[in-house]
Amino acid sequence: MTIEVAERCMVPVAMSPRHYRAFKIDPSDTNRVAIVCDPQTASISLSVCVEIFEVAGSVPMHRHHRAIEMFYVLKGEAAIICDGKTLSLRSGDSILVPPTGVHTVRNSGSSRLYLLSIMVPNEDFIELVRNGIPVELDEMDLSILERSDQRTPC
């Protein structure tokens, strides 16, 4: 069996949570965005982030004109409003927001909310995030992202 080599081959990129860069888009934001994968790295219009919301934190109501956005709840509880419909999500749940879906996300739980967010195409979201204020991920964030609570000793 022979394997054809593609004319353009992307070198795999591996990162760990301690490599993620995090930002607040605006100083008044109650959430932070940690970039996991961006269009520069992926060579495709894709953004993958972990959004971290403080208790009662939220993002303003907004929409993406072409992008599909998928949220997966890593930890916590979320209330998501999309086109007037409210959904409650918790760890393990996901939602797909269609293009032009007017939506907001709010932390409805009593601890931080961690959402994996995937957007295709990127629609300049990563650029917006990078133009924000750099922030650090704290030890609680890293313990969730590294899933250290799921590790068992050898």
What topology does CATH give the domain 22-144? Jelly Rolls (2.60.120)
| Per-residue model confidence (pLDDT) at position 80 | 97
φ, ψ of residue 103 to 5 degrees: the values are -145, 160
Most confident of 17-26, 31-40, 69-78: 69-78
pLDDT at 147: 76
Listing DSSP states for 56-72 in one string gives T-B---B--SS-EEEEE
Contacts of 79-87 with C-beta under 8 Å, sequence gap 24+, read 79/105, 79/106, 79/108, 80/104, 80/105, 80/106, 81/106
Q: Confidence band (pLDDT; 50, 70, 90) for 19?
A: confident
What would the two tokens of residue 15 be?
């990162």
Average pLDDT on 81-104 reads 96
**Whole-number pLDDT of residue 53:** 98
Q: By the 8 A CB rule, do 104 and 61 touch?
A: yes
Q: What is the pTM of this model?
A: 0.86
**Residue-level pLDDT at 154:** 47
Among the ranges given (13-27, 51-65, 93-107), the one the predictor scored with the smallest mean pLDDT: 13-27
Least confident of 10-19, 37-46, 65-74: 10-19
Over 90: is that where the pLDDT of 40 sits?
no
Ordered by start, the domain boundaries in the chain are 22-144
Residue 80 phi, psi dihedral angles, 5° rounding: -120, 125
The whole-number pLDDT of residue 64 equals 94
Using pLDDT thresholds of 50, 70 and 90, give the confidence band for residue 7: low
Give the pLDDT score at 43.
79
Beta-carbon contacts of 92 under 8 Å, excluding residues fewer than 6 positions away, are 73
